[in-house]
Amino acid sequence: MTSADNTSTAQRRPAKDPWDLPDVSELVVGVLGGTGDQGRGLVYRLARSGQKMIIGSRAAERARAAAEELGEGVEGADNAECARRSDVVIVAVPWEGHAKTLEGLRDDLAGKLVVDCVNPLGFDKKGAYAIVPEEGSAAQQAAALLPESRVTAAFHHLSAVLLQDPEVQRIETDVMVLGESRDDCETVQALAGRIPGMRGVYAGRLRNAHQVESLVANLISANRRYKAHAGLRITDV
């Protein structure tokens, strides 16, 4: 056997352009906790880009009312129905409710691409600080609780204020996307890229999610000092 025969299929595959991302325009995207600031902002922006969106809530009525406010392309449902009817499910509940919410939706989320955007943070008189979850990060906790789902992490550094402001046409920022599967990460990157000004950038495996989640404490500090809605750019990619 020659060394050429030994080359794995992966090695022989021609290098793919990392910016050649899939068409995600037909995917239904649900948001658990979609009645909150971050969820509502993501739903608004993605629906504005033509994505079919479902707002999830612990109370279907609240979700339907929020969906009505956001208009065309947006529906509301309780979190379980939202999970079942969506191809991609963004988790946008507070850290305090993260584990309990996901545990309760394990079956509804089986087989789904889950995108966790939860930042485990505490606040005291010195400002925001990062909490270190037992599993390492919120995203790793999600992966542990949802063994039959494909868990990724993204959308941590967005300003819900900018997302929700209809006067803001473009949001100039990068979205760090983490996960175990390249295809899943590319789907999430493509989704981020549907929002004008935004780029989804691959940023590693879930074991590196903690520093991405906790960086939000630094952005909050910058926002307070500069009265801003800070975002991030990854340069040279």
Ligand X SMILES: NC(=O)c1ccc[n+]([C@@H]2O[C@H](COP(=O)([O-])OP(=O)(O)OC[C@H]3O[C@@H](n4cnc5c(N)ncnc54)[C@H](OP(=O)(O)O)[C@@H]3O)[C@@H](O)[C@H]2O)c1
Residues that bind ligand X (CB under 6 A): 33, 35-39, 57-59, 62, 92-97, 101, 117-119, 156, 158-160
Q: In angstroms, what is the minimal distance from the CB of 123 to ligand X? A: 11
Q: In angstroms, what is the minimal distance from the CB of 75 to ligand X? A: 14
Q: In angstroms, what is the minimal distance from the CB of 106 to ligand X? A: 15
- In the bound state with ligand X, the residue whose beta carbon lies nearer, of 11 and 75, is 75
Residue 64 in tokens = 């339907």
Which of 61, 30, 35 minimizes the C-alpha distance to 47?
Answer: 30
Q: Are strands 150-153 and 173-179 parallel, antiparallel or unpaired?
A: antiparallel
Which of 148, 111, 140 minimizes the C-alpha distance to 205?
Answer: 140
Q: In angstroms, what is the minimal distance from the CB of 71 to ligand X? A: 18
Residues 6+ apart with CB under 8 A from 136: 207, 209, 210
**Beta carbons of 201 and 176 less than 8 angstroms apart:** yes
**Beta carbons of 175 and 158 less than 8 angstroms apart:** yes
**CA dist., res. 43 & res. 39, Å (int):** 6
- In the bound state with ligand X, the residue whose beta carbon lies nearer, of 122 and 196, is 122
- In the bound state with ligand X, the residue whose beta carbon lies nearer, of 30 and 33, is 33
| H-helix or E-strand spanning residue 22 | none
- In the bound state with ligand X, the residue whose beta carbon lies nearer, of 18 and 122, is 122
Q: In angstroms, what is the minimal distance from the CB of 39 to ligand X? A: 5
Q: In angstroms, what is the minimal distance from the CB of 116 to ligand X? A: 9
- In the bound state with ligand X, the residue whose beta carbon lies nearer, of 18 and 228, is 228
- In the bound state with ligand X, the residue whose beta carbon lies nearer, of 118 and 206, is 118
H, E, C per residue of 115-170: EECCCCEEEECCEEEECCCCCCCHHHHHHHHCCCCEEEECCCCCCHHHHHCCCCCC
Which DSSP letter does residue 218 get? Answer: H
